Amino acid sequence: MGNCMQTLSETVTLLASDDTWIEGAAIQQLHTSAALPGMARVAGMPDLHPGRGYPVGAAFFAVGHVYPALIGGDIGCGMALWRTDLAVGKLSADKLDKRLGNLDGPLDEDWRERVAALALPASGFDSALGTIGGGNHFAELQRVDRIYDTERGAALALDPKRLLLLVHSGSRGLGQAILREQVDRHGHAGLLEDSADCAAYLARHDAGLRFAEANRLLIARRMLERLRADGEALLDVNHNLVSPARIGGVDGWLHRKGATPADAGLVAIPGSRGDFTYLVEPLPSELSLLSLAHGAGRKWMRSECKDRLSRRFSPAQLARTRLGGQVICQDRQLIYEEAPEAYKPVDSIVDTLVQAGLVRPLARLAPVLTYKTRGECC
Protein backbone atom coordinates (compact mmCIF):
# COMPACT_ATOMS: atom_id res chain seq x y z
CA MET A 1 0.00 0.00 0.00
CA GLY A 2 3.01 2.31 0.29
CA ASN A 3 2.15 5.65 1.84
CA CYS A 4 -1.18 5.95 0.00
CA MET A 5 -3.47 4.69 2.75
CA GLN A 6 -3.28 7.33 5.46
CA THR A 7 -4.79 6.69 8.88
CA LEU A 8 -6.24 9.99 10.12
CA SER A 9 -7.94 8.55 13.20
CA GLU A 10 -9.16 5.25 14.59
CA THR A 11 -12.14 5.33 12.20
CA VAL A 12 -11.01 7.63 9.35
CA THR A 13 -8.69 6.69 6.50
CA LEU A 14 -7.68 8.70 3.44
CA LEU A 15 -6.47 7.19 0.20
CA ALA A 16 -3.96 9.75 -1.07
CA SER A 17 -0.31 9.93 -2.03
CA ASP A 18 1.96 12.68 -0.76
CA ASP A 19 1.27 14.85 -3.81
CA THR A 20 -2.51 14.30 -3.96
CA TRP A 21 -4.25 17.64 -3.49
CA ILE A 22 -7.01 17.33 -0.89
CA GLU A 23 -8.88 20.36 0.44
CA GLY A 24 -8.86 20.74 4.21
CA ALA A 25 -12.63 21.27 4.32
CA ALA A 26 -13.15 17.85 2.76
CA ILE A 27 -11.00 16.17 5.42
CA GLN A 28 -12.95 17.98 8.12
CA GLN A 29 -16.17 16.65 6.60
CA LEU A 30 -14.72 13.14 6.78
CA HIS A 31 -14.20 13.55 10.51
CA THR A 32 -17.68 15.05 10.95
CA SER A 33 -19.20 12.06 9.16
CA ALA A 34 -17.18 9.65 11.32
CA ALA A 35 -18.83 11.12 14.43
CA LEU A 36 -22.35 10.13 13.33
CA PRO A 37 -24.07 7.54 15.57
CA GLY A 38 -23.26 4.00 14.49
CA MET A 39 -20.52 5.08 12.08
CA ALA A 40 -17.78 2.44 12.24
CA ARG A 41 -15.45 3.41 9.38
CA VAL A 42 -15.03 6.26 6.89
CA ALA A 43 -12.71 6.22 3.88
CA GLY A 44 -11.85 9.15 1.63
CA MET A 45 -10.83 8.48 -1.97
CA PRO A 46 -8.12 10.45 -3.84
CA ASP A 47 -10.83 12.47 -5.63
CA LEU A 48 -12.24 13.63 -2.27
CA HIS A 49 -13.68 17.16 -2.23
CA PRO A 50 -16.15 19.08 -0.05
CA GLY A 51 -19.88 18.54 -0.53
CA ARG A 52 -22.99 19.99 1.06
CA GLY A 53 -22.29 18.98 4.62
CA TYR A 54 -20.68 15.66 3.70
CA PRO A 55 -17.71 14.98 1.44
CA VAL A 56 -17.91 13.71 -2.14
CA GLY A 57 -15.53 10.90 -3.06
CA ALA A 58 -15.96 8.86 0.12
CA ALA A 59 -17.42 5.66 1.54
CA PHE A 60 -19.05 5.30 4.96
CA PHE A 61 -19.71 2.06 6.86
CA ALA A 62 -22.40 2.35 9.53
CA VAL A 63 -23.76 -0.32 11.87
CA GLY A 64 -27.45 -0.29 12.70
CA HIS A 65 -28.10 2.96 10.84
CA VAL A 66 -28.81 4.14 7.30
CA TYR A 67 -28.07 7.79 6.43
CA PRO A 68 -30.00 9.08 3.38
CA ALA A 69 -28.21 12.44 3.59
CA LEU A 70 -24.87 10.72 2.99
CA ILE A 71 -26.14 9.41 -0.36
CA GLY A 72 -27.59 12.77 -1.30
CA GLY A 73 -30.09 13.73 -3.96
CA ASP A 74 -28.71 11.86 -6.95
CA ILE A 75 -29.36 8.28 -5.93
CA GLY A 76 -27.91 5.88 -8.48
CA CYS A 77 -25.65 8.39 -10.17
CA GLY A 78 -23.09 6.31 -12.01
CA MET A 79 -21.31 5.39 -15.22
CA ALA A 80 -22.18 3.15 -18.14
CA LEU A 81 -19.61 2.33 -20.84
CA TRP A 82 -20.70 1.01 -24.26
CA ARG A 83 -18.80 -0.38 -27.22
CA THR A 84 -20.10 1.00 -30.52
CA ASP A 85 -19.57 0.14 -34.17
CA LEU A 86 -18.80 3.77 -35.05
CA ALA A 87 -15.49 3.98 -36.86
CA VAL A 88 -12.91 6.39 -35.44
CA GLY A 89 -12.38 9.25 -37.88
CA LYS A 90 -15.18 8.29 -40.25
CA LEU A 91 -17.28 11.21 -39.05
CA SER A 92 -15.83 14.46 -37.76
CA ALA A 93 -16.86 15.77 -34.35
CA ASP A 94 -18.94 18.42 -36.13
CA LYS A 95 -20.84 15.76 -38.10
CA LEU A 96 -21.35 13.65 -34.98
CA ASP A 97 -22.63 16.78 -33.23
CA LYS A 98 -25.09 17.45 -36.05
CA ARG A 99 -26.43 13.89 -35.96
CA LEU A 100 -26.95 13.99 -32.20
CA GLY A 101 -29.07 17.12 -32.23
CA ASN A 102 -30.71 18.13 -28.96
CA LEU A 103 -30.82 15.48 -26.22
CA ASP A 104 -32.16 17.74 -23.46
CA GLY A 105 -35.87 17.22 -24.09
CA PRO A 106 -38.00 14.20 -23.13
CA LEU A 107 -38.19 11.09 -25.28
CA ASP A 108 -40.91 11.20 -27.91
CA GLU A 109 -43.84 8.81 -28.32
CA ASP A 110 -41.77 6.39 -30.40
CA TRP A 111 -40.03 5.39 -27.16
CA ARG A 112 -43.19 4.62 -25.19
CA GLU A 113 -43.06 0.84 -25.64
CA ARG A 114 -39.32 0.63 -24.96
CA VAL A 115 -39.72 2.58 -21.73
CA ALA A 116 -42.71 0.46 -20.70
CA ALA A 117 -40.68 -2.72 -21.29
CA LEU A 118 -38.30 -1.62 -18.51
CA ALA A 119 -41.20 -2.01 -16.02
CA LEU A 120 -40.04 0.83 -13.78
CA PRO A 121 -42.04 1.66 -10.64
CA ALA A 122 -44.28 4.72 -11.02
CA SER A 123 -42.27 7.80 -10.10
CA GLY A 124 -43.79 10.89 -11.66
CA PHE A 125 -40.45 11.64 -13.30
CA ASP A 126 -40.74 9.63 -16.50
CA SER A 127 -40.28 12.76 -18.62
CA ALA A 128 -36.66 12.93 -17.41
CA LEU A 129 -35.80 9.43 -18.68
CA GLY A 130 -33.25 9.52 -21.47
CA THR A 131 -31.90 12.94 -20.46
CA ILE A 132 -28.46 13.67 -19.04
CA GLY A 133 -29.13 16.59 -16.72
CA GLY A 134 -26.83 19.30 -15.43
CA GLY A 135 -23.87 19.56 -13.10
CA ASN A 136 -21.04 17.16 -13.86
CA HIS A 137 -23.22 14.75 -15.85
CA PHE A 138 -22.28 14.07 -19.46
CA ALA A 139 -22.25 11.59 -22.31
CA GLU A 140 -19.00 11.23 -24.22
CA LEU A 141 -17.83 9.48 -27.36
CA GLN A 142 -14.30 8.22 -26.79
CA ARG A 143 -11.51 6.52 -28.68
CA VAL A 144 -9.10 3.93 -27.33
CA ASP A 145 -5.85 5.80 -26.73
CA ARG A 146 -3.83 2.99 -25.12
CA ILE A 147 -4.36 -0.63 -24.11
CA TYR A 148 -2.29 -1.75 -21.11
CA ASP A 149 -3.45 -5.38 -21.00
CA THR A 150 -3.70 -6.73 -24.54
CA GLU A 151 -5.19 -10.06 -23.45
CA ARG A 152 -8.00 -8.45 -21.47
CA GLY A 153 -8.43 -5.80 -24.14
CA ALA A 154 -8.98 -8.50 -26.74
CA ALA A 155 -11.43 -10.33 -24.46
CA LEU A 156 -13.40 -7.10 -24.06
CA ALA A 157 -13.25 -6.47 -27.82
CA LEU A 158 -11.65 -3.07 -27.30
CA ASP A 159 -10.88 -1.79 -30.77
CA PRO A 160 -8.79 1.36 -31.40
CA LYS A 161 -10.71 1.69 -34.67
CA ARG A 162 -14.13 1.93 -32.96
CA LEU A 163 -15.57 4.57 -30.65
CA LEU A 164 -16.88 3.92 -27.16
CA LEU A 165 -19.66 5.78 -25.39
CA LEU A 166 -19.46 6.75 -21.70
CA VAL A 167 -22.67 7.93 -20.01
CA HIS A 168 -22.58 9.63 -16.61
CA SER A 169 -26.01 10.39 -15.16
CA GLY A 170 -28.35 9.42 -12.36
CA SER A 171 -31.93 9.51 -11.10
CA ARG A 172 -32.55 13.12 -12.11
CA GLY A 173 -35.39 14.78 -10.15
CA LEU A 174 -36.52 11.51 -8.57
CA GLY A 175 -33.48 11.18 -6.32
CA GLN A 176 -33.82 14.78 -5.20
CA ALA A 177 -37.49 14.22 -4.35
CA ILE A 178 -36.59 11.15 -2.27
CA LEU A 179 -33.94 13.08 -0.36
CA ARG A 180 -36.24 16.06 0.19
CA GLU A 181 -38.89 13.78 1.68
CA GLN A 182 -36.33 12.35 4.11
CA VAL A 183 -34.91 15.73 5.13
CA ASP A 184 -38.38 17.19 5.65
CA ARG A 185 -39.29 14.29 7.96
CA HIS A 186 -36.01 13.47 9.68
CA GLY A 187 -33.50 16.20 8.94
CA HIS A 188 -30.05 14.66 8.49
CA ALA A 189 -30.57 12.08 11.22
CA GLY A 190 -29.94 8.44 10.44
CA LEU A 191 -32.65 5.81 10.28
CA LEU A 192 -32.53 2.76 12.54
CA GLU A 193 -32.09 -0.26 10.28
CA ASP A 194 -35.05 -2.19 11.70
CA SER A 195 -37.49 0.74 11.55
CA ALA A 196 -40.42 1.18 9.17
CA ASP A 197 -38.97 4.52 8.06
CA CYS A 198 -35.73 2.80 7.05
CA ALA A 199 -37.56 0.10 5.11
CA ALA A 200 -39.60 2.76 3.31
CA TYR A 201 -36.47 4.73 2.40
CA LEU A 202 -34.62 1.66 1.16
CA ALA A 203 -37.56 0.75 -1.09
CA ARG A 204 -37.57 4.23 -2.61
CA HIS A 205 -33.75 4.21 -2.81
CA ASP A 206 -33.82 0.94 -4.76
CA ALA A 207 -36.44 2.40 -7.11
CA GLY A 208 -34.09 5.35 -7.61
CA LEU A 209 -31.26 2.96 -8.52
CA ARG A 210 -33.47 1.25 -11.11
CA PHE A 211 -34.50 4.62 -12.54
CA ALA A 212 -30.86 5.77 -12.81
CA GLU A 213 -29.74 2.57 -14.52
CA ALA A 214 -32.67 2.78 -16.94
CA ASN A 215 -31.87 6.42 -17.59
CA ARG A 216 -28.29 5.63 -18.63
CA LEU A 217 -29.54 2.79 -20.81
CA LEU A 218 -32.02 5.07 -22.56
CA ILE A 219 -29.46 7.85 -22.99
CA ALA A 220 -27.06 5.41 -24.66
CA ARG A 221 -29.74 3.94 -26.92
CA ARG A 222 -31.04 7.40 -27.80
CA MET A 223 -27.58 8.56 -28.80
CA LEU A 224 -26.80 5.42 -30.79
CA GLU A 225 -30.08 5.74 -32.65
CA ARG A 226 -29.31 9.35 -33.54
CA LEU A 227 -25.81 8.35 -34.64
CA ARG A 228 -27.19 5.42 -36.70
CA ALA A 229 -24.99 3.02 -34.78
CA ASP A 230 -25.19 -0.19 -32.79
CA GLY A 231 -23.69 -0.72 -29.37
CA GLU A 232 -23.26 -3.09 -26.46
CA ALA A 233 -22.87 -2.27 -22.78
CA LEU A 234 -19.51 -3.14 -21.20
CA LEU A 235 -20.40 -1.99 -17.69
CA ASP A 236 -22.89 0.01 -15.64
CA VAL A 237 -21.90 0.92 -12.08
CA ASN A 238 -23.60 3.20 -9.53
CA HIS A 239 -21.47 5.40 -7.30
CA ASN A 240 -24.16 7.05 -5.12
CA LEU A 241 -25.90 4.33 -3.12
CA VAL A 242 -26.24 2.42 0.14
CA SER A 243 -26.11 -1.37 0.36
CA PRO A 244 -25.74 -4.06 3.02
CA ALA A 245 -22.13 -5.14 3.51
CA ARG A 246 -19.89 -7.10 5.82
CA ILE A 247 -16.70 -5.26 6.77
CA GLY A 248 -14.22 -6.64 9.27
CA GLY A 249 -16.60 -9.44 10.12
CA VAL A 250 -19.37 -6.98 11.04
CA ASP A 251 -22.67 -6.56 9.19
CA GLY A 252 -23.71 -3.03 8.39
CA TRP A 253 -24.57 -0.52 5.68
CA LEU A 254 -22.00 0.72 3.18
CA HIS A 255 -22.82 4.22 1.93
CA ARG A 256 -21.05 5.56 -1.14
CA LYS A 257 -21.12 9.23 -2.14
CA GLY A 258 -19.13 9.68 -5.33
CA ALA A 259 -17.29 6.40 -4.70
CA THR A 260 -17.22 3.58 -7.23
CA PRO A 261 -17.79 0.03 -5.95
CA ALA A 262 -14.69 -2.13 -6.18
CA ASP A 263 -16.75 -5.30 -5.91
CA ALA A 264 -19.00 -4.91 -8.97
CA GLY A 265 -16.69 -5.72 -11.89
CA LEU A 266 -14.90 -3.38 -14.28
CA VAL A 267 -15.22 0.37 -13.74
CA ALA A 268 -14.48 3.52 -15.68
CA ILE A 269 -12.71 6.41 -13.93
CA PRO A 270 -13.10 9.57 -16.03
CA GLY A 271 -11.19 12.79 -15.83
CA SER A 272 -12.57 16.14 -16.86
CA ARG A 273 -13.94 16.65 -20.38
CA GLY A 274 -10.39 17.55 -21.42
CA ASP A 275 -8.72 14.55 -19.85
CA PHE A 276 -8.54 10.77 -20.24
CA THR A 277 -10.85 8.09 -18.89
CA TYR A 278 -9.32 4.91 -17.45
CA LEU A 279 -10.93 1.50 -17.74
CA VAL A 280 -9.68 -0.48 -14.73
CA GLU A 281 -10.08 -3.82 -13.03
CA PRO A 282 -10.69 -3.33 -9.29
CA LEU A 283 -8.74 -5.30 -6.68
CA PRO A 284 -11.21 -5.11 -3.77
CA SER A 285 -9.90 -4.24 -0.31
CA GLU A 286 -11.70 -3.57 2.96
CA LEU A 287 -9.06 -0.91 3.68
CA SER A 288 -10.81 1.32 1.13
CA LEU A 289 -14.26 0.00 2.14
CA LEU A 290 -14.47 -1.93 -1.14
CA SER A 291 -14.55 1.42 -2.96
CA LEU A 292 -12.59 3.47 -5.48
CA ALA A 293 -12.46 7.00 -6.83
CA HIS A 294 -15.29 7.80 -9.22
CA GLY A 295 -13.43 10.41 -11.23
CA ALA A 296 -10.83 13.14 -11.09
CA GLY A 297 -12.48 15.18 -8.33
CA ARG A 298 -13.00 18.92 -8.22
CA LYS A 299 -10.30 21.30 -7.02
CA TRP A 300 -12.29 24.54 -7.52
CA MET A 301 -15.73 25.43 -6.24
CA ARG A 302 -18.30 25.98 -8.97
CA SER A 303 -18.95 29.53 -7.81
CA GLU A 304 -15.38 30.61 -8.47
CA CYS A 305 -14.77 29.00 -11.88
CA LYS A 306 -16.12 31.71 -14.15
CA ASP A 307 -14.21 34.47 -12.36
CA ARG A 308 -11.01 32.45 -12.59
CA LEU A 309 -11.35 31.55 -16.26
CA SER A 310 -13.46 34.09 -18.15
CA ARG A 311 -10.55 36.47 -18.76
CA ARG A 312 -8.42 33.65 -20.14
CA PHE A 313 -10.95 31.65 -22.16
CA SER A 314 -14.12 32.32 -24.09
CA PRO A 315 -16.88 29.67 -24.10
CA ALA A 316 -15.88 28.84 -27.68
CA GLN A 317 -12.30 28.19 -26.59
CA LEU A 318 -13.48 25.95 -23.74
CA ALA A 319 -15.50 23.92 -26.24
CA ARG A 320 -12.21 22.53 -27.65
CA THR A 321 -9.90 20.50 -25.45
CA ARG A 322 -6.18 19.82 -25.34
CA LEU A 323 -6.78 16.22 -26.46
CA GLY A 324 -8.62 17.34 -29.58
CA GLY A 325 -12.11 16.74 -28.22
CA GLN A 326 -15.14 18.91 -28.80
CA VAL A 327 -17.69 19.87 -26.14
CA ILE A 328 -21.40 20.50 -26.66
CA CYS A 329 -22.44 22.91 -23.91
CA GLN A 330 -24.42 26.06 -24.62
CA ASP A 331 -24.91 26.92 -20.96
CA ARG A 332 -22.28 29.65 -20.48
CA GLN A 333 -22.11 29.22 -16.71
CA LEU A 334 -21.81 25.44 -16.88
CA ILE A 335 -19.02 25.41 -19.45
CA TYR A 336 -16.87 27.39 -17.00
CA GLU A 337 -17.95 25.34 -13.96
CA GLU A 338 -17.00 22.12 -15.73
CA ALA A 339 -13.76 23.36 -17.32
CA PRO A 340 -10.80 20.93 -17.14
CA GLU A 341 -8.92 23.45 -15.00
CA ALA A 342 -11.54 22.98 -12.24
CA TYR A 343 -10.59 19.31 -11.83
CA LYS A 344 -7.59 17.36 -10.61
CA PRO A 345 -5.52 15.50 -13.25
CA VAL A 346 -7.02 12.02 -13.56
CA ASP A 347 -3.55 10.46 -13.90
CA SER A 348 -2.80 11.46 -10.30
CA ILE A 349 -5.99 9.75 -9.10
CA VAL A 350 -5.39 6.50 -10.98
CA ASP A 351 -1.69 6.44 -10.06
CA THR A 352 -2.66 6.62 -6.38
CA LEU A 353 -5.08 3.71 -6.79
CA VAL A 354 -2.38 1.69 -8.57
CA GLN A 355 0.21 2.43 -5.88
CA ALA A 356 -2.30 1.36 -3.24
CA GLY A 357 -2.79 -1.97 -5.04
CA LEU A 358 -6.50 -1.30 -5.65
CA VAL A 359 -6.75 -1.35 -9.46
CA ARG A 360 -5.16 -2.73 -12.62
CA PRO A 361 -5.46 -0.33 -15.59
CA LEU A 362 -6.72 -2.06 -18.72
CA ALA A 363 -7.07 0.85 -21.15
CA ARG A 364 -6.96 4.61 -21.47
CA LEU A 365 -9.66 6.39 -23.46
CA ALA A 366 -9.56 9.87 -24.98
CA PRO A 367 -12.56 12.17 -25.48
CA VAL A 368 -13.81 12.85 -29.01
CA LEU A 369 -17.20 14.53 -28.38
CA THR A 370 -18.65 15.42 -24.98
CA TYR A 371 -22.34 16.24 -24.67
CA LYS A 372 -23.32 18.42 -21.70
CA THR A 373 -26.36 20.46 -22.78
CA ARG A 374 -27.63 22.58 -25.66
CA GLY A 375 -29.34 25.04 -23.37
CA GLU A 376 -29.84 26.00 -19.77
CA CYS A 377 -29.44 22.96 -17.57
CA CYS A 378 -32.56 21.29 -16.26
Cα separation, 70 vs 193, in Å, equals 15
Q: Which residues of 289-318 are buried (b: 16+ CB within 10 A; e: fewer)?
A: bbbbbbbbbbebeeeebbeebeeebebeeb
Q: Per DSSP, what are the bridge partners of residue 267?
A: 280
Residue 49, SS3 per DSSP: strand
Three-point CA angle 273, 275, 280, nearest 5°: 110
CB atoms within 10 A of CB 30: 24
Please enumerate in sequence order all residues whose Cβ is within 8 A of that of 200, keeping only pairs 6 or more positions apart, or say none: none
With b for 16 or more beta-carbon neighbours within 10 A and e for fewer, the 146-158 pattern comes to ebebeebbeebeb
* Choice among 49, 137, 239, 294 that is catalytic: 294
Catalytic-residue membership of 294: yes
Pairing of strands 291-293, 277-282: unpaired
Catalytic residue set = 294
